[in-house]
Structure 1
């Protein structure tokens, strides 16, 4: 397949490959995508968006916005509700020119999600925050101070965010569900291979003798890219957010760590610090 390693070449490769799949109205074309085209942004449009939202895109993010950005169609998601099949139109990748309400909502979402996990059933509390106070007001003060230091997370698709920090060696994209964050890719190429996996024809059917059925597996070239991208590297960091990611065992794989390994490179983080007055 020869997937380009250069980001610009890769983005054009992904554009050509996805649009080719979407150009044929058959079972391989996902619902809602027939005839879809990518809509890249100009330098002027990117500059205007940065001023409007008071953000500064990383160089990788800008390159993505110039070549891909968003499509001119809506994804159709089907689900069953009380025996009835429901079909809804959903945004695929956020369009920074049109989806202001969705983008603004997603930017605010991860604050609400994390704060809810601190005050609800998960009772999240990081080691670096010290002893967990009994007062909700004090908890919020500690959390807000920590949150103010996070690099900005810019939504790209669903609950996927680009870490907006030009000082990092890597260019991570993360997925968020409340306070549970996972690394979806340490660069845009790896992230897009994940996000567009159903649109790039990068699977092969492998027969399982035990189950006597075929399963779809990523082709070797893509699996190798993923494996290399998620290998342990001490330079992989996201200021402040890294501790939250490693708080959940689901985030360890993204840093090339194995939670259950006897030779784990770091030890599990203690999940709660209970204040004396709460005991």
Structure 2
């Protein structure tokens, strides 16, 4: 794997070239992706899509759509429906990243997915989800729906990019991450579109891992290259401007710390003062010696 470009446009072309070379490998002839190629969109097509679905793509999303967008074929996913010898083998076909020219039904369904998924948890009768910041929970189911819908209106727009991954599409935010949303079980899948792509397809198609031999098990396992690991670690460093209105609180619901938010813990002034005090005492003792 060559150096991963920092410039986003160069990065997208690197993704295109690297992945297409991977898919063109003759050892890959039996795979659905053999000789697959990305199908970028024109500026006119992007504008028509925005009008059709009443959405606005961010600059980085537009660049992604122009250079990559989706593949010239569907991805084939195989799985077994049931157990035992009589279990049926199922093959499903799905777009490798949203196809904005063909996936109309899926797109319309996905645009409403985040709201519906969180609402499902909000209305759960056994363990209803509700945040204190939303005020007192209404008593009736219909009132809960109404209040939650009003709260959700103030959340940043989310645009589907692949499966249940959504790009935060708010130009007022410094960081516009990709979220992986399954109801209130939501995580940051990449704080930038660049790091999201590396997290999503890097290991399989971009060569961001290398085989490392495990002496104890006598097997090779894939581990991120030093370059990919540094990009990942830098992406999840704490930054006070890494905030996502509405979703931030949901992401943190499963963990009172910041690890589930994909960030290092924010600086704690009290703990920092204790560290300084301890350091001063140690230095003072050393001086006395």
- Give unpaired runs (5+ residues) of structure 1: 266-279
Match of 2:208 among 202, 207, 218: 202
Q: Return the structure number with greater helix share.
A: 2
The runs of 4+ residues in structure 1 deviating greater than 6 Å are none
Matched-pair contact (CA < 8 Å) for 2:248–2:261: no
SS in 1 for 2:47: helix
Q: Which residue of 2 aligns with 1:107?
A: 111
TM-score, normalised to structure 2's length?
A: 0.84
Mapping of 1:42-121 within 5 angstroms? 42-82=42-82, 83-120=87-124, 121=126
Quote the residue 1:2 is aligned against.
3
Number of equivalences: 262
User: Cα offset for 1:113?
Assistant: 0.7
Residues 42 and 66 of structure 1 are in contact (CA less than 8 Å); yes or no, is this contact kept in structure 2?
yes
Shift of the alpha carbon at 1:258? 5.6
Matches of 1:255 and 1:235 in 2, distance apart?
A: 14
Structure of greater relative contact order (alpha carbons < 8 Å, 6+ residues apart): 1
Which of 235, 238, 242 aligns to 1:229? It is: 235
The partner residue of 1:147 within 147, 152, 157 is: 152
Name whichever of 205-214 and 72-81 sits farther off.
205-214
Which residue of 167, 192, 200 corresponds with 1:187? Answer: 192
Q: Tell which structure's C-alpha radius of gyration is larger.
A: 2
What's the CA shift string for 1:53-97, capped at 9, x where partnerless?
111111110110110011111111111223343222121111111
Of 246-255 and 127-136, the range deviating more from structure 2:
246-255
TM-score normalised according to structure 1 size: 0.87
Q: Deviations over 1:130-154 (max 9, x none)?
A: 2323221222222111111111110
1:256 aligns with 2:263: yes
Over aligned residue pairs, what C-alpha RMSD do you find?
Answer: 2.3
2:170 corresponds to 1:165: yes
Deviates more, 1:187-196 or 1:247-256: 247-256
